[in-house]
Structure 1
């Protein structure tokens, strides 16, 4: 299926903003209602998006490849540093915890211990390693190879907005995906 220029741009928005809601896309695309968003998605992008267990809109892997955009990453300036990243709660806390760009880099175990000291989180070491690698792929954490790989933020903590994505099921007091 060949996409129009508008459809390709809107698909890139879905990839960048995921997980997202009709309301967020409605505002971004200048549409009048969440129903219009739903109708557009079904008519133009049906093959490239789905709704997760929480009814949030997500792009397929094929969509991300098609538009060559990193999921959950909004581009920043020409430096290559994103302005916004949407990550799971653990990645957000790891970003807050890992050494700053001018500090000595930290091993995965050091980040884990710091998380345990400063938060109520107690993730397995492999989850911390995966979070650091994911943040590295997003361009906000860098790796330094010493006796073991070590990490630090590639940017100042306030240079990028980190939005923690709630992976919990929607409850009655939260907005629904159609808001």
Structure 2
């Protein structure tokens, strides 16, 4: 199957962001809704992606070779990842969120740490989205108290974090 330039670029996004969700691809591709993402995946990239047991979108090995893009997560599939490739905000969140032996913290707490550590003021929804994406990559875990709270699921120094464009 020959892919158009747009399809190759979008497939590269799937490889880079995996494991991912419709909403994350929707934002990356600038489309109207998750149904448009699903429709595109089914019509243009059906041979190159699948949904895992948690319904997360993952690229096939053939897709990664085809677009020559490093996957968003590297490591043994039965263990936590050893390398993650994430946007800058997710890398910053990884640096400030509570460690695995610390008390988990709220999105607002992480936001305050980002302001202090990096002098940035992202939207609360962007911080929540970054935490959830890191959770899908299995390097952050959630604990439900009055509100969802987060902490690292791994020691910070066991994962190389690379900032992807």
Q: Structure 1 length normalisation: TM-score? A: 0.58
Equivalent residue pairs, number = 118
Determine if the alignment matches structure 1 residue 46 to structure 2 residue 3: yes
Distance 1:144 1:151 in 2: 6
RMSD across aligned positions (CA): 2.7
Which structure: greater helix fraction?
A: 2
| Greater RCO, CA 8 A, separation 6+ | 1
- The question of whether the paired residues in 1 share the 8 Å contact of 2:73 and 2:137 is answered with no
Counterpart CA distance in 1 for 2:146 and 2:73 is: 34
Q: Which runs of 5+ in 2 are unaligned?
A: 15-40, 51-58, 65-69
* TM-score computed with the length of structure 2 as normaliser: 0.62
Within 5 Å, which residues of 2 pair with 1:97-112? 97-112=96-111
Distance of 2:83 and 2:102 partners within structure 1: 23
Secondary structure in 2 aligned to 1:102?
coil
Deviations 1:66-95 (A, max 9, x none): 518998433313542112111110000001
Q: Which has the larger radius of gyration?
A: 1
Are 1:64 and 2:49 an aligned pair?
yes
Which contiguous aligned blocks of 4+ residues in structure 1 show a shift greater than 6 angstroms? 68-71
Q: Which runs of 5+ in 1 are unaligned?
A: 2-44, 52-56, 167-179
Q: Which residue of 1 aligns with 2:117?
A: 118
